[in-house]
């Protein structure tokens, strides 16, 4: 194109001819894109949108789509660039923007200050905290032209610590709650499930700085409440899993999960007291007799044994590497190996054990490694059916879940290794820390995963759907402005919920059948079809595609809803459309739309 333009200019074709041909082309394209829709922003018109309009797609095809990644790809939300790396297409980006607005709102409500730290980092600070040496293969590293090592930040504790260390001089400048929303990089061994486990992803990460431990615990509480508000507003059922390590003075953390059968995490929960925890950290008790394991610390480079201890877990349970590592932190360059212990090994280990994790006498050695679990401490991976250790009367049940957020109280971690101190009440202390993450691109796909099914197709929580509604005019766009204006009148919880939230399928070059099929594929919560009934009697067919967790009323404003193949329909006269949608949305989802 540029070449042609240069030729035009070089050969004396006038600027006039060039500009006239452009104007004609632009006018033609606008004519094709309907001139009756002046009130509808171009960004809300499907004719302007990059969508994979595959005309060969048959209606029945949605049933054969198995995964949410397939559905999102097919409907044009995401586009795979390479393994674990995706483009968020315009519709997905709209949904992301909505999630980000909710999160910004809540982070700023607790004093969060938004900044943007660089993605491209030097390893200096990572060497100080030891993470350059220990993070391993998940870290994306590269070299600049001078052959100096660099990395793509998967998280920013080091960077933010360096900033605060340089800029803050007095205890009066704390507390600080700094956050950002940026792309992060992690070289996953097995990227899978679209945005759920990618190598490049979008994350909100907040870092808190407090003078005292009490203040840091208060920050943790404030952030937990802010996170609950975020997930309440996003509108997908979630669980908050206790990830308390149980060590006095140790770290405190909680995970936020969307509960769904496809999740790769397991949350164990007690119905009696409300305790919930990730399986790897959960505490459950079991009276079955124990089995012994040898926990061996090995030097990764030489392969030689550094230390060995004996741990005992209830029979039928696995030892938890996580719990053992928490009690027995590894030095950089060391790794932990766990293996069942036979009688001889158990005897030998008991003989030269360093600081045993269990009392060797209580094991009843040397006769047998089998012991009562009651002396074994909590070194096992808890299971469904274990007794709850918090209330003692409940039994743990297991639920699959997708982790979408994680909050930590870190104590002086990072402050100590990077020497971030504060002078307070005559003494110098390490600054108290917390960090708080939400995987935003993961929330996007996880929300779709929880609301959709391969039978019903793609569904979105109302608060984050790219558009709350689509208008599909089947015979010309001349009536669209009328309907568009009616939607502008709908107020739910004091908010005009359809403002900048309605798409219009003005692709008149596509058949009605194809556009109706697309509406199903895109899965916007409401589709307003202007078909024959509209031409004859101003009757709009309202199709509802709502998450299965929303309980729908049988009728709204006296107008009945009928259920056909997982989808609800209603036929509503244009004059009553605003009233109907107002009642429906207020009933179905009062909290998530504002
Ligand atoms: Zn309980």
Q: Residue 591 has what pLDDT?
A: 56
Positions in the chain short of pLDDT 50: 1-31, 55-57, 59-60, 62-63, 245-250, 353-376, 594
CA of 374 to the centre of ligand 1 (A): 19
Cβ-contact 449, 192 below 8 angstroms:
no
pLDDT digits (tens, 9 = 90+) for 374-402: 334 678 888 888 888 888 788 999 999 99
CA of 341 to the centre of ligand 1 (A): 32
CA of 281 to the centre of ligand 1 (A): 15
CA of 387 to the centre of ligand 1 (A): 8
Q: Hey, what are 301's tokens?
A: 């480079």
Using DSSP, state whether 317 is helix, strand or coil. Answer: coil
Q: Hey, what are 227's tokens?
A: 């996170």
Rounded to a whole number of angstroms, the distance between the first and last alpha carbons of the chain is 47
CA of 388 to the centre of ligand 1 (A): 5
Closest by CA to 236, choosing from 267, 255, 259, 266, is 259
CA of 338 to the centre of ligand 1 (A): 30
CA of 224 to the centre of ligand 1 (A): 21
Q: Residue 18 has what pLDDT?
A: 39
What is the CA 440 to chain-centroid distance, rounded? 5
Q: Residue 593 has what pLDDT?
A: 57
Q: Residue 43 has what pLDDT?
A: 86
Q: Please name the helix (run of DSSP H) or strand (run of DSSP E) that holds residue 24, with its range, or none.
A: helix 15-32
Question: The dihedral of CA 295, 297, 300, 304: what is its sign?
Answer: negative
Q: Residue 160 has what pLDDT?
A: 96
Helices 480-488 and 577-588 cross at an angle (nearest 10°) of 50
pLDDT digits (tens, 9 = 90+) for 450-464: 999 888 889 999 999
Per-position DSSP letters for 123-181, written without gaps between them: SHHHHHHTHHHHSGGGSEEEE-TT--EEEE-S--HHHHHHHHHHH--SGGG--EEEEEE
CA of 286 to the centre of ligand 1 (A): 14
CA of 257 to the centre of ligand 1 (A): 19
CA of 359 to the centre of ligand 1 (A): 28
**Length, in residues, of the chain:** 594
- Phi, psi values for residue 258, rounded to 5°: -85, 125
CA of 220 to the centre of ligand 1 (A): 23
CA dist 96 and 88 (Å) reads 9
Q: Residue 365 has what pLDDT?
A: 38
Q: Residue 349 has what pLDDT?
A: 56
Cβ neighbours of residue 493 under 8 Å, at least 6 residues apart?
Answer: 586, 590, 593, 594
CA of 226 to the centre of ligand 1 (A): 25
Q: Residue 360 has what pLDDT?
A: 38
Q: Hey, what are 156's tokens?
A: 């920013």
Using CB atoms within 10 Å of the CB of residue 29, give its burial: 0 to 12 exposed, 13 to 18 middle, 19+ buried. Answer: exposed
pLDDT digits (tens, 9 = 90+) for 498-553: 999 999 999 989 999 999 999 989 999 999 999 999 999 999 999 999 888 887 78
CA of 276 to the centre of ligand 1 (A): 9
What is the CA 316 to chain-centroid distance, rounded? 33
CA of 271 to the centre of ligand 1 (A): 7
CA of 270 to the centre of ligand 1 (A): 5
């Amino acid at each position: 194109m540029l070449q042609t333009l240069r030729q035009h200019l070089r050969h004396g074709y006038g600027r006039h001819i060039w500009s006239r041909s452009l104007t004609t082309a632009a006018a033609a394209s606008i004519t094709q894109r309907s001139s009756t829709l002046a009130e509808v922003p171009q960004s809300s018109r499907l004719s302007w949108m990059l969508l994979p309009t595959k005309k060969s797609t048959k209606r029945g095809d949605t049933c054969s789509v198995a995964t949410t990644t397939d559905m999102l790809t097919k409907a044009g939300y995401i586009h795979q660039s390479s393994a674990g790396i995706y483009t968020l297409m315009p519709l997905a980006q709209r949904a992301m923007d909505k999630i980000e607005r909710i999160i910004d709102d809540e982070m700023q409500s607790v004093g969060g200050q938004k900044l943007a730290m660089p993605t491209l980092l030097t390893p200096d600070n990572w060497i100080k905290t030891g993470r350059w040496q220990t993070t391993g293969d998940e870290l994306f590293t590269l070299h600049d032209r001078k052959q100096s090592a660099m990395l793509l930040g998967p998280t920013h504790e080091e960077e933010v610590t360096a900033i605060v260390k340089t800029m803050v001089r007095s205890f009066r400048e704390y507390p600080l709650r700094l956050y950002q929303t940026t792309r992060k990089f992690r070289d996953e061994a097995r990227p899978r499930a679209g945005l759920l486990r990618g190598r490049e992803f979008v994350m909100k990460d907040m870092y808190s700085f407090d003078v005292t431990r009490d203040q840091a615990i208060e920050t943790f509480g404030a952030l937990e409440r802010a996170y609950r508000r975020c997930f309440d507003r996003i509108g997908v059922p979630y669980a908050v899993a206790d990830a308390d390590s149980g060590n006095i003075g140790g770290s405190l953390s909680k995970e936020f999960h969307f509960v769904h059968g496809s999740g790769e995490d397991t949350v164990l929960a007690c119905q009696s007291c409300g305790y919930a925890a990730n399986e790897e950290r959960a505490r459950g008790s079991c009276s079955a007799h124990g089995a012994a394991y040898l926990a061996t610390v090995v030097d990764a480079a030489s392969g030689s044994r550094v230390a060995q201890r004996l741990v005992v877990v209830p029979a039928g349970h696995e030892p938890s590497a996580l719990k053992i590592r928490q009690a027995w932190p590894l030095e950089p360059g060391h790794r932990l190996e766990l293996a069942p212990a036979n009688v001889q090994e158990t005897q030998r280990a008991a003989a030269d054990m360093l600081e045993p994790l269990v009392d060797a006498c209580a094991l009843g050695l040397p006769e047998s490694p089998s012991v009562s679990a009651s002396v074994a401490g909590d070194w096992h991976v808890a299971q469904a059916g274990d007794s709850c250790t918090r209330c003692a009367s409940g039994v743990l049940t297991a639920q699959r879940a997708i982790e979408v957020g994680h909050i930590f109280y870190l104590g002086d971690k990072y402050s100590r290794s990077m020497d971030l101190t504060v002078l307070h009440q005559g003494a110098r202390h390490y600054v108290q820390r917390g960090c708080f993450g939400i995987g935003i691109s993961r929330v996007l796909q996880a929300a779709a995963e929880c609301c959709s099914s391969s039978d019903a197709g793609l569904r979105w929580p109302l608060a984050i759907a790219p558009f709350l509604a689509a208008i599909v005019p089947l015979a010309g766009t001349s009536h669209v402005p009328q309907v568009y204006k009616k939607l502008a009148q709908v107020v739910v919880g004091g908010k005009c919920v359809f403002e900048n939230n309605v798409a219009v399928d003005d692709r008149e070059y596509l058949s009605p059948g194809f556009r109706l099929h697309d509406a199903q594929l895109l899965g916007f919560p409401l589709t307003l079809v202007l078909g024959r009934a509209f031409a004859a009697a101003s009757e709009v067919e309202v199709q509802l595609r709502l998450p299965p967790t929303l309980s729908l009323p049988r009728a709204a404003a006296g107008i009945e809803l009928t259920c056909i193949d997982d989808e609800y329909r209603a036929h509503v006269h244009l004059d009553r459309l605003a009233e109907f949608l107002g009642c429906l949305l207020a009933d179905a989802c009062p909290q998530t739309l504002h």
